[in-house]
């Protein structure tokens, strides 16, 4: 059964999990989205000089675009200790690749996405110990940019090109697959705020949602009191 933790200080609790995973020299993967930005300040000025921080998902947009997750993660993490592994490495892109990302040309984006997914999967495969993966949850129950009806939900391998079939979320994505997410010793879903209460309760109630299909019975749900407000108190443990 999932472990549901409600904390008065989610960022500090989350930071402790990240530090522990890096101190054990493991792979840590972080999702994009607004929640992770609220958590990063709690990591402190330095991190263990061991382990690797990778990404769970990324939009296929120009490097440096405000819509790229790494635009926000990279500057905060660079020079703080662990090795970093961005999904879309600007140094590995050709001029043609950059043009594809700039225009999001539907004729060339899928081929580039396939190549980047294969490259990232090979990089992840070289990491022997997969420690912790951080996941979020969207209002539609998506996680890791795996949306309802998304082709990536049934993909094999470690990394898959992906998109939202509903069209509500723009851009092609790269996402870790269900198989990749299952390799991590620890899965942690973080949800903050009352706007997440309904979808968190639905997911923990076993609703047919992407996040339910790609997580496990031992997944940790780290919530603030607002995000947990629709849950049965009997399934919740409090941590400060």
Token pair for residue 93?
């892109």
Helices (H), ranges, 9-94:
10-23, 34-40, 69-77
Give domain limits for the chain: 3-239
Token pair for residue 35?
């929640």
CA distance 102 to 99: 5
Give the closest residue to 60 by CA, choosing from 88, 95, 29, 92.
88
What beta strand segments (E) does the chain contain? 3-7, 27-30, 52-55, 57-59, 83-85, 130-135, 159-162, 173-176, 186-191, 220-223, 236-239
Tell me if 189 sits within 8 A of 221, measured CB to CB.
yes
pLDDT for res 18? 96
Give the closest residue to 179 by CA, choosing from 193, 158, 200, 196.
158
Q: Hey, is 143 helix, strand or coil?
A: strand
Tell me if 35 sits within 8 A of 136, measured CB to CB.
yes
- Using 70 as the pLDDT threshold, list the residues of the chain that sit under it: 1, 240
CA distance 180 to 71: 23
CATH dotted code for 3-239: 3.40.50.1360
CA distance 181 to 37: 21
pTM: 0.95
pLDDT for res 154? 93
CA distances from residue 71 to 59, 154, 164 in whole angstroms, order as listed: 11, 28, 21
pLDDT for res 240? 62
Q: Hey, is 165 helix, strand or coil?
A: coil
């Amino acid at each position: 059964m999932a472990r549901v933790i409600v904390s008065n200080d989610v960022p500090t609790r989350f930071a402790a999990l990240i530090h522990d995973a890096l101190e054990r020299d493991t792979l840590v993967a972080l999702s994009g989205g607004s929640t992770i930005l609220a958590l990063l300040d709690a990591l402190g000025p330095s991190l263990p000089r061991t382990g690797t921080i990778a990404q769970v998902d990324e939009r296929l947009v120009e490097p440096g675009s405000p819509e790229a997750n790494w635009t926000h993660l990279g500057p905060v993490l660079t020079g703080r200790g662990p090795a970093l592994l961005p999904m879309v490495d600007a140094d590995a892109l050709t001029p043609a690749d950059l043009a594809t990302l700039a225009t999001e040309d539907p004729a060339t984006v899928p081929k580039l996405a396939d190549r980047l997914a294969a490259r990232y999967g090979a990089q992840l495969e070289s990491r022997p110990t997969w420690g912790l993966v951080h996941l979020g949850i969207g209002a539609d129950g998506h996680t890791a940019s795996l949306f309802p009806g998304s082709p990536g939900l049934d993909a094999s391998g470690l990394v898959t090109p992906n998109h939202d079939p509903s069209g509500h979320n723009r851009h092609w994505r790269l996402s870790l697959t269900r198989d990749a997410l299952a390799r991590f010793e620890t899965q942690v879903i973080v949800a903050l705020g009352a706007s997440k209460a309904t979808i968190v309760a639905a997911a923990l109630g076993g609703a047919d949602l992407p996040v339910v299909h790609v997580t496990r019975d031992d997944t940790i749900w780290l919530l603030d009191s607002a995000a947990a407000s629709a849950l049965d108190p009997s399934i919740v443990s409090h941590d400060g």
